[in-house]
Amino acid sequence: MSDGVLFTDDQGTIVFVNPEFASFLGEAPEDLLGRSWLDVVLPSQRPIAEAADRRRPQGLSDRYDLVFERRDGGRRTALVGGSPRYDEITGKFIGTMGIVTDITERKKAEGRIHKLLEEKELILQETHHRMKNHMNTMGSILSLHAQTVEDPKAVRALEDARSRMESMAVLYEMLYRHEAPQALSLGRYLPELIRSVVAPFPLGHAIRVETAIDEVMLSPKALSALGLVVNELVSNAMKYAFAGRSRGVLRVTAKHRDGRVRLAVEDDGPGLPSTVDLDRPSGFGLRLVTLLANQLGGTLAVRSGEGACISLDFPVS
């Protein structure tokens, strides 16, 4: 359908319409002449039209959406472009020219898309919520199991598994609360994760935890891998760096520069054993860290001496 056209005088009375505008309203062209153009606008939308009318004598043109009321009671949405009209001889303002484009179907399609997106968002949030609850349940089962076994290695393995589950549960909790779960802030995720890892340890209350995390947005997939890396490194520091001590310092930093993030976990303990080799890790925890670092496309580095520092440098896509 071609655009509708109408002319009004300086009082808003219709003085001309083309057949397309009349058809848009389900009216005969001659029945529209002499009427206020506001008569064919949905009453709740008239303040929009009246505000546009007040701009015309000032020489202003604009475009806006407006809902019209047809003769049969139906409603149609249009994009209205209004411009002032002037007398060719005197240059005096004499009314408005309106170009009316029917966008009813487009608006309906946009409404359907918006509804589908809302439904998808609700489904995603419900999925994240259920996953978080499942992980909390599995974590509780692992903790209970650890209390029923006597082998120290088995207890440690079960507690490590519970801790890894907790790191993912923290992420799913954030996904559930966040309005745009396609990307989340590293600066919001890591401090909360670190607190959840440190708290269960006997010395958790006595360790001073320092964090300096840049606000960089990462995908849930990247955050999941990074969270497991931080979980392993912080857990190892809590187990070994502060053994036999009543206090200590744990520092976690993440700096974003030139499209890369450098994550570092440091402690003020005795340093790493000389047998630690990230190229050939012996324990499951470090093997997992190495695997996740490769998954992120990053590189690991170790510094040991007065304390230990393990860093991960990876690109931000």
Domain span holding position 142: 114-181
With a cut of 70, say whether residue 128 has pLDDT above it. Answer: no
Going by pLDDT thresholds of 50, 70 and 90, the confidence category of residue 253 is very high
Model pLDDT, residue 56: 94
What is the CA 93 to chain-centroid distance, rounded? 49
With a cut of 80, say whether residue 208 has pLDDT above it. Answer: yes
How many domains does the chain divide into? 3
Q: How many CB atoms lie within 10 A of CB 115?
A: 10
Q: CB within 8 A of 302, min separation 6: which ones?
A: 272, 276, 278, 308, 309, 310, 311
Among candidate residues 58, 77, 102, the one where a domain is terminated: 102
Residue 57's CATH number: 3.30.450.20
- pLDDT digit string, tens, across residues 36-76: 999 999 999 999 999 999 999 999 999 999 999 999 999 99
Overall average pLDDT of the 16-33 stretch:
95
Going by pLDDT thresholds of 50, 70 and 90, the confidence category of residue 174 is low
One domain for residues 294 and 255? yes
Q: CB within 8 A of 179, min separation 6: which ones?
A: none
Confirm whether 15 is domain-assigned: yes
Overall average pLDDT of the 110-133 stretch:
78
Model pLDDT, residue 104: 92
Among candidate residues 149, 165, 181, the one where a domain is terminated: 181
With a cut of 70, say whether residue 175 has pLDDT above it. Answer: no
Model pLDDT, residue 149: 79
Among candidate residues 181, 208, 226, the one where a domain is terminated: 181
Model pTM score: 0.54
Average pLDDT of the chain is 87
With a cut of 90, say whether residue 266 has pLDDT above it. Answer: yes
Going by pLDDT thresholds of 50, 70 and 90, the confidence category of residue 178 is low
